[in-house]
Structure 1
Amino acid sequence: MEQIAKFFIVALTASVLRYFVIAGLTFFLFYKLFYKRLTSYKIQKKEAAKADFIRDILHSLQTTLVFAAIACVVFLTPVKQITQIPPAGEELPLWWVLLSVPLSLLVHDAYFYWMHRLLHHPALFRHTHLLHHKSTNPSPWSSYSFHFLEAVAEGLVLFVVVAVMPMNAVSISLFILAGFVINVYGHLGYEIAPLWLRKTWLFELVNTSVHHNFHHSKFKGNYGLYLRFWDRTMGTEHPDYVKEYDRVQAQRIAAKQNAGEAANQSAGMMAEV
């Protein structure tokens, strides 16, 4: 029990720090420090309320407790025997450690899509996922804001991933870190994808902040996490997603053009003087 308690504290501390450092820093940069400068990047014009931020933070702390508990079960109970986590002292090849991270994200993407659609079933939605959707205008604080039961469903992906492929502490940590960073981007409330993305094949494949933001504002469609694959394959992508993405990027372009014109006018006035 002492070993489990120590592991739980370490896992909980890591989860809490990850949440407050990444989500907190991102929130500070976009919602405080560079708020005026990044207005044109904002997806929804309305502002989220302070009460929304507080609710999201409190429920996110609950989620970190759930995630830490699941980690204890996976690593320190007989459940570990049905995973592919290597025994202590057994090394995994470096090439596999690096490859397993993107592969685990693909597994997570499939898992999340179907879990997410299930949580939108009328019999479950009001009792679980509705809490997350109270943030109709999400922020980085919304990234872990789940009902207790949804937090369990979200956290169980750890077991699924280590059950289907060998992963060590390093690859698992990278998987969790990469997943959370992308999750924060999805809930950012701002579209920071480069303008050139729209004209590449990547746009047809990857999700954007607008993609998930649209899910929060419309409640239906856009169930995917990292990729558009499942939504497009299953016909659940919102029909207005691309139009909304183009709208947000157009306002960014217009803001840059206006700033350029203002700079040229200022330079012209200075030259005349």
Structure 2
Amino acid sequence: MEKIIEAIISVFSISVVRYFTLAGIPFALFYLLMPDKLGKFKIQQKLATKKDFIREVWHSLQSTLVFSMIAVGLVFTPLQQYTRIYTHINDFPLWYVAVALLLSLIIHDTYFYWMHRLLHHKKLFKLAHLVHHKSTNPSPWTSYSFHILEAITEGLVLVPIVILIPMHPLTILLFTITGFIINVYGHLGYEIMPQSFRSTWAFEILNSSVHHNMHHSKFKGNYGLYFRIWDRVMGTEHPDYVKEYDRLQAQRFNQIPHEGIKA
């Protein structure tokens, strides 16, 4: 038990550093150092408050602890024998790390979409998901800002991932880092995709910061995490998403007046 506690403390400490680094750098850049210069990138022109940021960081630290406990439980306890986690990197070709990472993101996106829709059930929303939606104008700090019940539900995605596909601890680490970076982008509050992104096949598949920002301002629709696929298949993508994305990109590149998303 002592070794498990030490492992939790170690993983939690590393995760906290990762949170403040990967969320803190874009926050400093967009919200503290260059807010005026990057104003045309801003999705909603209203500003969150210091109180919002403190609340988000507090809940994010709780969520980080939950995620750390789940990861340690799966990787460093006898529960590992029921998973497909492998510890020798050469058990699979090195290129498989990238394949497993992609598969884990696909599984996560599917898990998240249906879990997210369930959390929007009237009773569950008030019980747990409301904490996250207090951030109607999200920032990078919002990325892990969950009620503890939602944090548990979010973190348990690792269970089907390590049961369904072989995962090395390195791949698990890359999965958490990649997922968090995308999560920070989704909650950034600014759209930073290049102008060329709109005319690529990737636009039809991948989410954008505008996509998830609309979910926070509208409170429904756009439930996907990484991809637009489930929202488009299930008819839950906000009908004004593409129009709003185009409006913001025009604002960025043609210098039209700022308007922002209206809640």
Question: For this structure pair, what is the TM-score category when the shorter chain's length is used for normalisation?
Answer: over 0.9
8 Å CA contact 1:74–1:80 kept in 2: the answer is yes
Matched residue, 1:175: 175
CA RMSD of aligned residues (A): 1.5
Matched residue, 1:185: 185
1:170 CA drift (Å)? 1.2
1:185 CA drift (Å)? 0.0
Matched residue, 2:51: 51
* SS class of match (2:127): coil
CA distance in 2, matches of 1:79, 1:240: 45
CA distance in 2, matches of 1:133, 1:89: 40
- In the TM superposition, 1:181-260 aligns within 5 A as 181-255=181-255
Question: Which whole-Å deviations, capped at 9, do the CAs of 1:49-77 have from their partners, x for residues lacking one?
Answer: 11110000000011111011111211233
CA distance in 1, matches of 2:254, 2:99: 40
Amino acid of the structure 2 residue aligned with 1:111: Y
- In the TM superposition, 1:1-273 aligns within 5 A as 1-87=1-87, 91-255=91-255
Larger Rg over CA atoms: 1
CA distance in 2, matches of 1:166, 1:10: 24
Amino acid of the structure 1 residue aligned with 2:181: V
8 Å CA contact 1:92–1:168 kept in 2: the answer is no
Question: Which whole-Å deviations, capped at 9, do the CAs of 1:245-271 have from their partners, x for residues lacking one?
Answer: 111111101239xxxxxxxxxxxxxxx
Question: Which whole-Å deviations, capped at 9, do the CAs of 1:59-118 have from their partners, x for residues lacking one?
Answer: 001111101111121123332122100156863320111211111111111011011011
CA distance in 2, matches of 1:220, 1:89: 42
TM-score relative to the length of structure 1: 0.91
Amino acid of the structure 2 residue aligned with 1:58: W
Question: Which whole-Å deviations, capped at 9, do the CAs of 1:202-234 have from their partners, x for residues lacking one?
Answer: 111100000000000000000000000000000
1:29 CA drift (Å)? 0.5
CA distance in 1, matches of 2:210, 2:90: 43
- Name structure 2 gaps, 5 residues minimum: 257-263
8 Å CA contact 2:87–2:168 kept in 1: the answer is no
CA distance in 2, matches of 1:160, 1:20: 28
* SS class of match (2:176): helix
Going from structure 1 to structure 2, the CA distance change for 1:5 and 1:244 (only over 3 Å counts) comes to: same
CA distance in 1, matches of 2:121, 2:201: 32
1:154 CA drift (Å)? 0.6
CA distance in 2, matches of 1:21, 1:89: 27
* SS class of match (1:236): coil
Amino acid of the structure 2 residue aligned with 1:7: A
CA distance in 2, matches of 1:89, 1:254: 49
| Percent pairwise identity | 60
Mean CA deviation greater in 102-111 or 85-94 = 85-94
Equivalences, count: 257
8 Å CA contact 1:215–1:222 kept in 2: the answer is yes
* SS class of match (2:45): coil
CA distance in 1, matches of 2:202, 2:92: 31
8 Å CA contact 1:86–1:166 kept in 2: the answer is yes
8 Å CA contact 1:187–1:213 kept in 2: the answer is yes
CA distance in 2, matches of 1:14, 1:111: 25
* SS class of match (2:91): coil
8 Å CA contact 2:88–2:168 kept in 1: the answer is no
